């Protein structure tokens, strides 16, 4: 899908055909749309297709007629019938007369620009537009990281009640999301550092504060991601230890019960053998059966009481 926008005074106008100073937004574009953009602006089609590959790395590419800025943006993905988080590439291509964005799917980062919700946004101010996209991208990472932190707290509360596989899998999914974020944020940091040195993208004094804000926001996102990753990793290890400890407690209790129940079993097994009754104690006593049962029960109770004093049932 291809959409064309241009800012006019205080509003964003949708165009039918490209004009100088416009913004061309490509979302999961078709081959025909890619070919049309390539023909009109002389952009290598491999650069246009780069953000359509989810594994494409963040980078800056400088060509004769355009400059490519490719970063990773956070997205919500559905896994196991629940919303989790991942990243996909977004490219910003700066040409002489237009600016082009290419992404695999619609993202709130660009949607707000399209709806005119971003202050001081002008399609012809390419440098500021790039910085505004990067700033909102870093802010989106921070927002999703806060949501991940809240989700991990909820999962932790559920784990205190029941150590089930469901909660552990949810923790694993959250940890996976944080790994995606860590890799993408560090790649974006390299792009921001290189953006400072690129001469093909003009730097204006009025945009210096915005560039500093972008770098600060991205670093904050990296630090927050590292903190949450450490907390989540420690939580996973702690609950793994708790589950292992609970299993050991259960196995210990079962072993103690087995020992206690084996006492009457040994006695009954001895009396159940086909042996001469003259050699068996109490074999000639009319109350011998009851006496043997009482003795075995008493011995079991004595052993059970001893184990209880040693806290072996806990």
Nearest residue to 8 (alpha-carbon basis) of 129, 99, 121, 128: 121
**Does the structure show a pLDDT above 70 at 105?**
yes
Fold for 2-245, please state it.
Beta Polymerase; domain 2 (3.30.460)
Q: Is the pLDDT of residue 7 over 80?
A: yes
C-beta neighbour count of 217 within 10 angstroms: 20
- Considering 76-85, 90-99, 278-287, the range whose residues carry the highest mean pLDDT is 90-99
Confidence of residue 162 (pLDDT cuts 50, 70, 90): low
**Residue range 9-62, pLDDT digits in tens:** 778 888 888 888 888 899 998 889 888 888 888 888 888 888 888 888 888 888
Q: What is the DSSP track for 3-43? A: EEEEEETTEEEEESS--TT-EEEEES--HHHHHHHHHHH--
Identify the weakest region by mean pLDDT among 199-213, 217-231, 287-301.
Answer: 199-213
Q: How many CB atoms lie within 10 A of CB 26?
A: 22
Compute the 3-state secondary structure of the chain and give helix, strand, coil in percent, each to the nearest 5: 60, 15, 25
The span from the CA of 121 to the CA of 100, in Å, is: 15
Write the DSSP string, 54-102: TTPPPEEEE-SSEEEEEEEEEEEEEETTEEEEEEEEEEEEEESS-EEEE
The Cα–Cα gap between 123 and 5 comes to: 8
- Name beta bridge partners: 99: 23, 94
Closest CA to 5 of 115, 85, 161, 84: 115
Specify the pLDDT at position 143. 92
Question: How does pLDDT run across 183-202, given as a tens digit for each residue?
Answer: 889 988 888 888 877 776 77
What letter does residue 278 receive in the DSSP assignment? G
Local structure of 282: helix, strand or coil: coil
Distance CA 3, CA 23 (A): 8
Local structure of residue 103 (DSSP, 8 states): E
Domain ranges (residues) in the chain: 2-245, 249-309
CA distance linking residue 33 with residue 189, whole number of Å:
31
Question: Residue 210 is inside which H or E element, if any?
Answer: helix 208-271
Residue 186 token pair:
């560090």
Q: Are 294 and 302 in contact (CB under 8 A)?
A: no
Structure tokens at 37: 């953009």
Closest-CA residue to 21 (of 117, 126, 118): 126
């Amino acid at each position: 899908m291809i959409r064309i926008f241009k800012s006019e005074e205080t509003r964003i106008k949708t165009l039918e055909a490209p004009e100088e100073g416009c913004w061309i937004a490509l979302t999961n574009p078709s081959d025909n749309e890619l070919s049309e953009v390539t023909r009109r602006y002389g952009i290598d089609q491999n650069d246009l297709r780069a953000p359509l590959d989810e594994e494409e790395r963040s980078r800056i590419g400088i060509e004769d007629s355009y400059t490519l800025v490719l970063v990773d943006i956070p997205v919500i993905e559905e896994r196991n019938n629940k919303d989790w988080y991942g990243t996909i590439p977004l490219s910003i291509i700066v040409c002489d007369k237009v600016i082009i964005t290419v992404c695999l799917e619609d993202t709130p980062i660009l949607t707000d620009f399209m709806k005119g919700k971003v202050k001081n946004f002008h399609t012809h101010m390419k440098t500021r537009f790039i910085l505004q996209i990067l700033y909102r991208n870093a802010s989106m990472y921070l927002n999703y990281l806060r949501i991940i932190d809240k989700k991990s707290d909820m999962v932790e509360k559920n784990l205190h009640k029941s150590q089930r596989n469901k909660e552990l899998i949810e923790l694993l999914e959250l940890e996976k999301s944080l790994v995606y974020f860590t890799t993408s944020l560090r790649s974006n940091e390299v792009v921001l550092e290189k953006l400072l040195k690129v001469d093909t993208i003009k730097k204006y004094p009025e945009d210096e504060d915005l560039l500093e804000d972008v770098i600060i926001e991205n670093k904050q996102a990296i630090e927050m991601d590292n903190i949450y990753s450490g907390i989540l990793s420690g939580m996973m290890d702690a609950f793994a230890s708790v589950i292992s400890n609970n299993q050991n407690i259960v196995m210990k209790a079962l072993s103690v019960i087995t020992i206690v129940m084996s006492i009457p079993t040994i006695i009954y097994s001895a009396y159940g053998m086909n042996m001469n009754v003259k050699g068996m104690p109490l074999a000639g006593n009319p109350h011998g059966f009851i006496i043997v049962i009482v003795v075995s029960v008493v011995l079991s109770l004595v052993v059970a009481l001893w184990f209880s004093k040693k806290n072996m049932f806990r």
